Chains A and B, each alone.
Chain A
């Protein structure tokens, strides 16, 4: 039931995690052990049971659509790794 190295490589790509080959191998072993452990849930009878994604029975919480002050630009950009004017500089998104 364990994961293959290829599956782990694929998951790392989905998760945007660049891992060295040695780390991928360790990760494969460790994740395999954990997945084997969580597979015990397959034995639990959950027929007719609805998923519980939230402990509280909360519903959409809205407020009036009125504009409010938001963070000033300088505060918002204060932690920018690469700031150019009022923008975050990033590698090209489109070719």
Chain B
């Protein structure tokens, strides 16, 4: 069961081959066996998951209509609110926090009869590219337990790759779904900004954050995206556009197909084996009749700089609410109100979070705002314009998701800037608000996964998923599983 995709499990359930309770039992057993090594989960809701599964089985027996993911287990990044259950965002400052409401995506999953298994580990407040910034534990890459799974949705990616769950949700602000998907050899999608409601997603950078699916293959990702996407009156940045039936159309190839390959994505810093894997993937598309066209995204070298001003500025504002007043950690000793805030935040925020708040505060401060924050927003427009021009001549842009395969735990921990550069190919999509996916396209000589990133214009997820599926239909990378 555990090597099967969600689509295969749905088929097995529909044919009466198994029950939701049996499936949940099996995945919970795998978590018990493997998660002490992988450390993907922060909380597992065993009794609750089994109860949900029994409820769905009873519904099926009574012949009642079932949701699109009926009986399928899913793991949730701990940045999303589930009512009454711990939501820590990987931080000490929210150690005992239990949200009083469900995120909209959670409501949609419940309506789809999915089985919520538990919450997965992440870099604190989604700030990181390795999941090493969690205040609780370091998740391991299931393909090599001495290496990072990527971040910040490292727990979700590792849980899927390790066979602990067929589906997971993550969040992506600068690549936090796509990069861990690439490093863990699975599929990860960052929807267009506004495609999925952010209500109940703990905010990092409000103009960049999006929730998205992690899965073994593109078909599963399409099914999950269809469930969570759509307008939400509780999120005024969610867009009122109908949701196409991604799951139904995903098997239709796109022809003719023009693929843009940006020369800036194949320069210094790109690992040779990753480059080979990506070029091999492009050949797979050429064999299916696609035309490869060289394009230029001239402002992409500035993306990391723009991001570390815009995202940190937004974060400095969003994280101001963690002050020990209404919820979360409060310092024990303090002399007055302001001292309470300062000590609470000094004691319970991790170093990376403090660094980014400082950077964002500096970028917005009087005397520096024009030179840093506003300047970054202008270059952000140039980055978006680059994509608009590229999509006028190509259906999608392809390239590597990450510049290297998974690196060793601790390797970049002392060098924040080196860590930031892991997101060099993913960051622009968040700045421009466009849609992106990472799909597995090979392995390095020592068995580490390589990811192909495909980017599409806003609200073109249908095309994006169909194109991604074209690679999957001719290769077997998505069927590989690590030995654990």
Within the complex, the shortest CB–CB distance from B360 to chain A, in Å, comes to: 8
Which chain A residue has the least Cβ–Cβ distance from B374? Answer: A51
- Given A78-B100, A79-B326, A81-B324, residue A58 in contact with residue B375 (CB < 8 A): no
Which of A15, A56, A93 sits near B194, CB closer than 8 Å?
A56
- Report yes or no: B384 in contact with A41, Cβ–Cβ below 8 A: no
B365 at interface (Cβ–Cβ under 8 A)?
A: yes
Within the complex, the shortest CB–CB distance from B356 to chain A, in Å, comes to: 10
Which of B97, B309, B316 sits near A38, CB closer than 8 Å?
B309
B98 at interface (Cβ–Cβ under 8 A)?
A: yes
- Report yes or no: B327 in contact with A81, Cβ–Cβ below 8 A: yes
Interface string of B374-399 (1 = CB under 8 A from A): 11111111101000000000000000
Which chain A residue has the least Cβ–Cβ distance from B207? Answer: A54
- Of the four ranges (under 10, 10 to 19, 20 to 34, 35 or more), the interface on chain B belongs to 35 or more
A65 at interface (Cβ–Cβ under 8 A)?
A: no
- Report yes or no: B97 in contact with A79, Cβ–Cβ below 8 A: yes
- Report yes or no: A38 in contact with B308, Cβ–Cβ below 8 A: yes
How many angstroms between the C-alpha atoms of A76 and B98 in the bound complex? Answer: 11
- Report yes or no: A79 in contact with B355, Cβ–Cβ below 8 A: no
Which of A15, A79, A92 sits near B327, CB closer than 8 Å?
A79
- Report yes or no: A90 in contact with B207, Cβ–Cβ below 8 A: no
How many angstroms between the C-alpha atoms of A27 and B357 in the bound complex? Answer: 11
- Report yes or no: B359 in contact with A34, Cβ–Cβ below 8 A: yes
Interface string of B61-93 (1 = CB under 8 A from A): 000000000000000000000000000000000
How many angstroms between the C-alpha atoms of A34 and B380 in the bound complex? Answer: 18
Q: What does DSSP make chain A's interface, helix, strand, loop or mixed?
A: loop
Contacting residues, chain B, for A30 (C-beta < 8 A):
355, 416
Q: How many A-B residue pairs have CB under 8 A?
A: 163
How many angstroms between the C-alpha atoms of A95 and B421 in the bound complex? Answer: 48
How many angstroms between the C-alpha atoms of A50 and B381 in the bound complex? Answer: 7
B2 at interface (Cβ–Cβ under 8 A)?
A: no
- Of the four ranges (under 10, 10 to 19, 20 to 34, 35 or more), the interface on chain A belongs to 35 or more
Which of A8, A13, A40 sits near B305, CB closer than 8 Å?
A40
- Report yes or no: B375 in contact with A46, Cβ–Cβ below 8 A: yes
B432 at interface (Cβ–Cβ under 8 A)?
A: yes
How many angstroms between the C-alpha atoms of A78 and B306 in the bound complex? Answer: 39
Q: Which of B280-335 contact A (CB under 8 A)?
A: 299, 302, 304-306, 308-309, 316, 320, 323-330, 334
Which of A19, A52, A58, A91 sits near B336, CB closer than 8 Å?
A91
Which of B237, B358, B372, B380 sits near A17, CB closer than 8 Å?
B358
B112 at interface (Cβ–Cβ under 8 A)?
A: no
- Report yes or no: B330 in contact with A81, Cβ–Cβ below 8 A: yes
Within the complex, the shortest CB–CB distance from B173 to chain A, in Å, comes to: 13
How many angstroms between the C-alpha atoms of A51 and B390 in the bound complex? Answer: 21
B446 at interface (Cβ–Cβ under 8 A)?
A: no
- Given A15-B357, A79-B327, residue A41 in contact with residue B302 (CB < 8 A): yes
- Report yes or no: B207 in contact with A18, Cβ–Cβ below 8 A: no
Contacting residues, chain B, for A55 (C-beta < 8 A):
193-194, 207, 384, 431-434, 458
- Given A34-B416, A46-B382, A92-B337, residue A18 in contact with residue B342 (CB < 8 A): yes
How many angstroms between the C-alpha atoms of A49 and B336 in the bound complex? Answer: 45
Which chain B residue has the least Cβ–Cβ distance from A71? Answer: B100
Interface string of B241-277 (1 = CB under 8 A from A): 0000000000000000000000000000000000000
A-B contact pairs, 17 of them (CB 8 A): A12-B358, A33-B416, A33-B417, A35-B359, A37-B304, A40-B302, A41-B305, A44-B375, A51-B374, A52-B381, A54-B207, A55-B384, A71-B100, A76-B100, A90-B337, A92-B336, A92-B337
For the complex with contacts A16-B338, A49-B382, 16 further pairs of A-B residues with Cβ separation under 8 Å are A7-B362, A12-B358, A16-B342, A18-B343, A31-B355, A34-B359, A41-B372, A44-B379, A46-B378, A49-B379, A50-B378, A54-B207, A55-B194, A56-B193, A71-B101, A79-B326
Please list the residues of chain A having a beta carbon within 8 angstroms of any beta carbon in chain B.
Answer: 3, 7-8, 11-19, 23, 27, 30-31, 33-35, 37-38, 40-42, 44, 46, 49-56, 58, 61, 63, 71, 75-76, 78-82, 88, 90-93
The 7 closest A-B pairs by CB, nearest first: A55-B433, A51-B377, A18-B346, A79-B327, A52-B381, A81-B330, A61-B236
